[in-house]
Structure 1
Amino acid sequence: MKGELPVFKRCCFCLPLRRGLVGWGYLRLALDVLAIIRFVFICIEIYSIYIGPVIFEKIMCTATTIYYCIDALFAVFLIVGGHKKSYKLLRISYIYCIVWLALILIIGGLIAYSSINWIQREEHINLYKVKYIALDSAITFSIIFVQVYLILLTRSEAIKLRKENLGVQFVNNAADAESICVQVCTNMTNN
C-alpha cells in the first residue's frame, strides 16, 4: 500500500510555511548547540576520569560531538536556504535531513548502549547517572522530533518553490487547433 506524505501550507497551523521553516531551523540550531555543549563536557569527563578500556566510549563521545557540529553547520545552511527562497538549497537540505535522521537513530542507539554499559560498570546507581541518561534521552528524542517535522516542512516548501519557479502556464488549445487548421488549409490551397 502506497501512502502519501502530507504537504503543509502552514507551519504549526498558524505561521507562514517559509517563516516557520526558518524558525524550526533556528530551533534545530539551538538544540544542536545544547547537544554540543553537553557532549563536550561528557568528553572532558570521560577523557579525564577514565583511563584504559573505555575506548568505545571515547570514540563515541568524540564522534557524537563532531556529528552535532556538522548538523549545526547544516542547520545554518537550511536557514540561509529558507531566507533566500532557493529551491536547490532546500532540496539539498531535504536530502541531508533524511540521511542525518538515519544517523541520529543509529547514534542514539549507540549512546544508549554506551550509557547502559557505563551504569553497569558502577556498583550502585546514583542520581547523577540517572539525570545524565534522562538529559541525553530528552535531547535525542527532541532532535529526532524536530528532524522529522523539519523534513516534512522542507519538502513542502521545496514543492511550493518548485511550482513557483515553473510558473503557471496556461495552454490555449483552441488557438493551437485554429493555427493548425489554418496551416492545413493553406497547404491544401497551395497544392
Structure 2
Amino acid sequence: MRCEIPEVGRCCFCFPLRLGLIVWGYLKLAASLVLLVVILMSFITNLQRQNYPHDILFLGSNIFYIGSLFADIVFHIIFAVGAHKKDPKKMELFLKFCIYTLVTYVLGLCYALYLTFSGYFFGFIFGLVIGTLFFSCIVIEIYIMILIRSEVVKLKRGSNFQFVNHSADANISVEIDVDNKTIY
C-alpha cells in the first residue's frame, strides 16, 4: 500500500519553509546544549557524593543520555550547515537521524504506558505525564520530518517556484481533410 506524504510550503503556517527550519534547528540546538550541561552537572554532582551508591544502571543510563545528547548536537549542527548551504544530502542525513529520534520517542511512550498501567498511583500519574510529553514529542517530530522532507524535495527540484498549468490539459480535437487540405 502506498501513501503520499504531503509537501508543505510554510513552517508553522507563517514562516517561509527554509527560514522556519533554520530557526527551529537553532532553538533545538540551544535546548540540547542546555540539557547537556544540566545532565553533566547532575552526573558530576552525583559522582562526587561520598555516600551515594553508584551502580551500573546509574552510570550506563547517564552515559547513554550524554551520548545521545552529544549526537543530537552534532546532527543539529550538520542540519544547520545543510540548511544554510541548501545542501539536500546533509538535510537527508538529518532526516534519517529524525527517524532514529522518532523510534526512541515511541519506545519512551511504550515505557510510559507500562508505568501508567503498573497498578501504582504514583506510577499512573508519572506515566500519564511522561506519556503526554512523549506523545507531543512524537507529533512534533513527525511534523518536523514532513517539513524537512518538503525542503529536501524542493532543493532537489532545483527551483523555488513551480507553476502548473491546468488549462493545458484540455483536449483539442482537430479534423484534417487530407484530400482537400482544409482544416475543420
The TM-score bracket by the shorter chain reads 0.5 to 0.7
**Structure 1: how far apart are the matches of 2:139 and 2:36?**
18
User: Contact between 1:9 and 1:156, CA under 8 Å: does it hold in 2?
Assistant: yes
Q: Which residue type is aligned with residue 50 of structure 1?
A: Y
| Residues 15-164 of structure 1 aligned to structure 2 (within 5 Å) | 15-47=15-47, 48=49, 50-52=52-54, 54-106=55-107, 108=108, 144-164=138-158
Structure scoring higher RCO (CA < 8 A, sep ≥ 6) equals: 1
The alpha-carbon deviation at position 146 of structure 1 amounts to 4.5
Q: What TM-score do the two structures reach when normalised by structure 1?
A: 0.63
Question: Counting helix residues as a fraction of each chain, which structure ranks higher?
Answer: 1
Q: Give the direction of change, closer, same or farther, for the CA distance of 1:109–1:46 in structure 2 (3 Å limit).
A: farther
The alpha-carbon deviation at position 109 of structure 1 amounts to 6.0
- After superposition, what is the alpha-carbon deviation per residue over 1:65-95, rounded to whole angstroms, capped at 9, x for unaligned? 1110110111011011000011111111111
Q: Give the direction of change, closer, same or farther, for the CA distance of 1:42–1:109 in structure 2 (3 Å limit).
A: farther
RMSD: 3.5
**Structure 2: how far apart are the matches of 1:44 and 1:140?**
27
**Structure 1: how far apart are the matches of 2:44 and 2:110?**
19
User: Contact between 1:46 and 1:57, CA under 8 Å: does it hold in 2?
Assistant: no
**Structure 1: how far apart are the matches of 2:12 and 2:134?**
21
Q: Which residue type is aligned with residue 68 of structure 1?
A: L
Equivalent pairs counted in the alignment come to 150
- After superposition, what is the alpha-carbon deviation per residue over 1:86-110, rounded to whole angstroms, capped at 9, x for unaligned? 111111111121123213444x469
User: Contact between 2:109 and 2:134, CA under 8 Å: does it hold in 1?
Assistant: no
Q: Which residue type is aligned with residue 161 of structure 1?
A: L
**Structure 2: how far apart are the matches of 1:34 and 1:142?**
20
Q: What TM-score do the two structures reach when normalised by structure 2?
A: 0.65
Per the alignment, residue 4 of structure 1 pairs with 4
SS, match of residue 3 in structure 2: coil
The alpha-carbon deviation at position 137 of structure 1 amounts to 7.9
Any gaps of 5 or more consecutive residues in structure 1? 169-191
Any gaps of 5 or more consecutive residues in structure 2? 163-184
User: Contact between 1:18 and 1:82, CA under 8 Å: does it hold in 2?
Assistant: yes
The alpha-carbon deviation at position 50 of structure 1 amounts to 2.6
Q: Which residue type is aligned with residue 147 of structure 1?
A: E
